[in-house]
Amino acid sequence: MDFDFKTATPEQLRARYNDIATEMRETQFLSKKELDHVPHILQDGEQVLAFATGLMNNDTWLITLTDRRIIFLDKGMVYGLRQAVIDLDKVSSVSFTTRWLFGDIHIRDSSGTYQITNVWKKSIVPFTNRVQQAVDARKPANNP
């Protein structure tokens, strides 16, 4: 059964986000204001599969994986909301590098590469694996 992010109560959203955060080994500390905004930008029936937090262009961004796209959100303190989106059908590859405590995620599409730095090392493999699974699930089945 799909979860309805658009009509869920704040308590239901918090519980769902906690479940995802546990699975992804991700903290929600730096991304609360972005997570609060996610239901407002989801399409009807769209499901959040994973999220991670990191730096992109020296700002903290929430990277949200849904069953349809990857959404990059930065809800600043002073300015409004910045958003970038990659449809899963357009993702050509996802890769990562790790260091002592943090690492980087690289998501490529036909227009370039999104590099998210300073992602918690423990979150990188679960998140990138989930992205690859979601991308693979969107590919048409090979017909012999």
Is the residue at 144 inside a domain? no
Q: Which residues contact 50 (CB under 8 A, 6 or more apart)?
A: 20, 23, 24, 64, 65, 126, 127, 130, 131
Is the residue at 117 inside a domain? yes
* Cβ atoms < 10 Å from Cβ of 3: 14
Is the residue at 14 inside a domain? yes
Is the residue at 5 inside a domain? no
State residue 30's pLDDT score.
62
pTM above 0.85, yes or no: yes
CATH number at residue 114: 2.30.29.30
* Cβ atoms < 10 Å from Cβ of 11: 8
Give the tens place of pLDDT for each residue, 51-103: 999 999 888 899 999 999 999 999 876 678 889 999 999 999 999 999 999 99
Is the residue at 30 inside a domain? yes
Is the residue at 94 inside a domain? yes
Is the residue at 1 inside a domain? no
Is the residue at 118 inside a domain? yes
Structural domains counted in the chain: 1
Give the tens place of pLDDT for each residue, 4-53: 999 999 999 999 998 999 898 887 666 778 888 899 999 999 999 999 99
Contact 119, 43 (CB under 8 A): no
Q: Residue 65: which domain range?
A: 10-138
